[in-house]
Structures are given as structure tokens and as C-alpha cells.
Chain A
Amino acid sequence: MMNITLKVWRQKNCNSKGAFESYPVEGVSPDMSFLEMLDMLNERLIKKGIEPIAFDHDCREGICGTCSMVINGRPHGPIKGVTTCQLHMRSFKDGDNIVIEPYRAKAFPIIKDLVVDRSSFERIMVAGGYVSVRTGNAQDANAIPIGKHEADEAFNAAACIGCGACVASCKNSSAMLFVGAKVSQYALLPQGKPERKDRVLNMVAAMDAEGFGNCSNTGACEATCPKGLNLTHIARLNREYISAVLS
């Protein structure tokens, strides 16, 4: 069993001013997940009449992309390729001080405590994150063979869970890795080709309108992406953009 101290960002709502609060947490098992440790703390807080810490989470298997906090300065905590919900307390040690904060970005306003509003991602997707195909009009699935390498790379791009860690870790709050992933997926597949020009232009315009920053190729997004998406998707986004404006 371990005893740790949490320094947690508490903020009542989007309009109020937030501040850090310290909470000692005793009796933490190394087998607990990070969020189970927070569950335990919240149960204790509720019983003491203190409002529990609001945080986003859902599937707790690292795929839904809901969990979103920044742990010790890093989205999803210290382990590469792991979401907050899959992080376990065995990655920490007795006596640790752990700082927990919400994602910071103008495009992700805080709703409460550690919960942020990521609807800006939705609006980017609505701007072009699709292939326009009506239900019932599809040809046979094997009619167009797709090379395994292209298919695999498209899959790698599509593995994005939309958690927003890229934005949180980027000093510019740039959403280029998120947008690059979706543009990449469709650019690599024959089904996405007819709309590729409009898609990249519309999605980039939507991204800019939401107030995300510019990419300065620091690579922080790649380093913190829990699904291992890399900068080649941003390079492809740039390439798609250039060819869309030039042709």
C-alpha cells in the first residue's frame, strides 16, 4: 500500500477561477488504476461533504478517448502509449506528489475541474471527416483491392481515439495530428480520393476557426499520443494541403 499526495486543479465551472487543491490519499494499492485511485478519493470526499473531483472517463480500456487529464505535466501520464484509464498506480511510488490538471487549450474550454469541452473536434469532423457515400449504394467490398501497406497505414491513421492529448501537449495547442490522422486515412484509401481536395481545405479552415494554434513541428504530440500516431500524418496533411491549393 502506498500513500501519495495529489495536487488537483479545482474549478467550479467555465466562468469561475480555478486553483490547485492538495489531497493526501492513503492506502493506494499498486494494482489500482489511476482512475480507481481517484474513485476512491472521490468516495472519501463525498462522505466528508466535499464535492468530488469531476473528471471524464468512460470505457476504461483505452479506446473511447474520453479520459483527458494531464498528469505531472503530461497528458495521460508518464507512460508512452497508455491512456489515463490504463495507467496503473504501480507506475508511481510511495510518497509521490502527483499534479493533475485539465487539458489546456483555448479550443478546449473547461467545463468543471478536469473536464473540458472538446466539441471543437466535432466541428472539424463535420467539416470534412467523411466519405460521402449513401447507405445502400456500395459496391462489393472486394471490388477495389487495396494494397496491404496502404490499408495498414490507413488503419494506423484511423487508430486515433480523438482524446486531444496532442492538443494538450502541444505548446501551441495545435490540432494538426488529429486533423492529419483523419486526412491521412482517407487520402490513403481509394474511397477517400474523390473528395480529398475539399476535405483537406475544409478541415483546415475549421481547425483554424476553432482557435487551435499552428504546428511548429516540436513533436510533442507524437511523443504523447496514446495510440502512437506519428508526424508522418502531419507531413501527409501538409502535402495534401499543398497539392489541394496548387492543383
Chain B
Amino acid sequence: MGWFTKALSTSIGKKLLVGLTGMFLSIFLVVHLYINLHLFKNDGGETFRAMAEFMGTTWAVKVLEFGLLLGFILHIVYSILVTIQNKAAKPAGYGASPNPGTSKASSRNMIWLGLLLGVFLVIHLQGIYFKAKFGHEAHDIYELTLSVMSDPAWAVVYLISMVALAIHLKHGFQSAFQTFGLNVPKYKGMIEAVAILFWVGVPAAFASIPVYFAFLGGK
């Protein structure tokens, strides 16, 4: 395994790790979204509860949950590490502000968007996941989720976070393909199309839930 850790310790290796974990987290987002969208199903939460039950009890999912935790940790730790190194590589900045148009703001601010999402993650876990899983009182996961989603204050937090997520994905999703070396002219158009679908579609779909329940009077 020496070669493996060595391969991941170089500048390209670190970026690969950030990209790979980012992609893994993106897949998780899709699964999460798939379950969440069942809140819209008008069955009194039956499907949603069944899915939550499946996620909470199946051993394979539990293993994946550890993977997810590891994914988050690696993604965050390595991103911070890379950022520190990058700052060190540019000890002094420029007196004139860099000319506009040479790079996109989303690409320059990944770390701040990421940290914002990290804060959201903690709030989010504390507000729903920990309560449902480790809370003293027994919570019905469906009722708990609905109550959070219907609270306008919570909804605003969710909406801001989804905007941050969208911008983070806007750069991150495509950037990962570049890091994997797949961004060749032939696939470029395809990757761009999927990327737009992803960074707009996924956060928008997530955001539609609090919008519907908190502001549009959905039940």
C-alpha cells in the first residue's frame, strides 16, 4: 500500500482524493434527495418511514454510513490542507486587483463555500439526524422532518445552504472530471451538460421541499 498513500500524497494525489470524495458525496446527495422527495408523496409518510427504517437497520447501509463519514472527513481535511499549501505558495498578493475574467469566483472560493456547508452540515445533523437517532424522546422521523421543513426560519437556513451547495457544485462537479483527467475535448460538452443538470437540479430539488412546506402551505 506504500505506493497508494504515496500516490495520494502529491499535489495531484491530494486533488484526486478531494475529487473522489467529492464525487462520492455527490452520489450520496442523489440518494438523500431521492428519499427526501418522498415527503411529497401523499401517503402520510409511509414510504418515507419505510425508507428511513431501511437506512437505519440494514447492515450494508451502516457500513456505507461509516464510508460517508470518512468521505466527509477526508474531503474536508484534504481541502483545508490543500488550501493551506496554496496560501503558502503565494506568500504575497498583487497590489492591483487581478483582472476580471481570468477565473470564476466560484472556483476561487471553494474553501469558503465548503466551510459554510460544513456549518450547515452540523446544524442539519443536530436538527434531524441526531435527534432521530440518539434523541432521548422517541421521534417519528417523518413528523420531525416535516416540522423542521415547515419552519420558515429553518427553511431560510436551508435555502441559503442550498445556494452555497449549488455554487460549490458548479465548480466542484466539473472540476473533478478535470482532476480525473477526463476533461478531453470529446467529452467536454457532455460533462458540461451533466454538470449543469447536477449543480442546478440537485440543490433546486432539495430547496423545493422547505419552500413547499414552509411557504406554499404544503401538507
> A-side interface residues toward B, CB under 8 Å?
7, 9, 20, 70, 72-74, 78, 99, 101, 104-107, 169-174, 176, 204-205, 207-208, 211-220, 223-224, 231-232, 234-242, 245
Query: What B residues does A74 contact at CB under 8 A?
Result: 98-99, 102
Encoded as 1 (CB less than 8 Å from any A CB) or 0, chain B from 156 to 187 comes to 00000000000000010011001111111100
B183–A231 CB distance below 8 A: yes
Nearest CB of chain A from residue B91's CB, rounded to whole Å = 5
Interface size on B, residues (CB 8 A): 43
A107 to B90 alpha-carbon distance, docked (Å): 9
B175–A216 CB distance below 8 A: yes
Check A235/B96 contact, CB under 8 A, given A106-B91, A204-B10, A219-B103.
no
Nearest CB of chain B from residue A72's CB, rounded to whole Å = 5
Query: What B residues does A215 contact at CB under 8 A?
Result: 11-12, 15, 179
A172 to B79 alpha-carbon distance, docked (Å): 13
Question: Is B94 in contact with chain A by the CB < 8 A criterion?
Answer: yes
Nearest CB of chain A from residue B159's CB, rounded to whole Å = 27
B12–A218 CB distance below 8 A: no
B103–A214 CB distance below 8 A: no
Query: What A residues does B184 contact at CB under 8 A?
Result: 232, 235-236
Nearest CB of chain A from residue B179's CB, rounded to whole Å = 6
Apart from A174-B89, A215-B12, A215-B15, 16 more pairs, CB < 8 Å: A104-B94, A171-B90, A212-B89, A214-B15, A214-B82, A216-B175, A219-B104, A220-B103, A223-B102, A231-B183, A232-B184, A235-B183, A236-B184, A237-B181, A238-B178, A242-B181
A142 to B93 alpha-carbon distance, docked (Å): 49
**Could you write out 13 A-B pairs with CB less than 8 Å apart?**
A72-B96, A74-B99, A99-B95, A99-B96, A104-B91, A208-B10, A213-B88, A214-B11, A214-B82, A214-B86, A215-B15, A216-B175, A231-B178
B84-133 residues with Cβ-Cβ distance < 8 A to A are 85-86, 88-99, 101-104, 107-108, 110
Query: What B residues does A105 contact at CB under 8 A?
Result: 89-90
Query: What A residues does B89 contact at CB under 8 A?
Result: 105-107, 172-174, 211-213
Which of B89, B179, B181 gathers most chain A CB within 10 Å?
B89
B86–A172 CB distance below 8 A: yes
Nearest CB of chain B from residue A172's CB, rounded to whole Å = 4
Query: What A residues does B37 contact at CB under 8 A?
Result: none
A245–B90 CB distance below 8 A: no
Which of A101, A173, A216, A220 gathers most chain B CB within 10 Å?
A216
Nearest CB of chain A from residue B107's CB, rounded to whole Å = 4
B90–A213 CB distance below 8 A: yes
A7 to B99 alpha-carbon distance, docked (Å): 16
Nearest CB of chain B from residue A110's CB, rounded to whole Å = 9
A105 to B89 alpha-carbon distance, docked (Å): 6
A170 to B90 alpha-carbon distance, docked (Å): 9
Which of A170, A214, A245 gathers most chain B CB within 10 Å?
A214
A241–B175 CB distance below 8 A: no
A240 to B4 alpha-carbon distance, docked (Å): 16
A217–B171 CB distance below 8 A: yes
A223–B103 CB distance below 8 A: yes
Query: What A residues does B11 contact at CB under 8 A?
Result: 174, 176, 204, 207-208, 212-215
A101 to B181 alpha-carbon distance, docked (Å): 34
Question: Is B3 in contact with chain A by the CB < 8 A criterion?
Answer: yes
Query: What B residues does A219 contact at CB under 8 A?
Result: 102-104, 107
Nearest CB of chain B from residue A164's CB, rounded to whole Å = 13
Query: What B residues does A101 contact at CB under 8 A?
Result: 94-96
Query: What A residues does B95 contact at CB under 8 A?
Result: 7, 9, 20, 99, 101
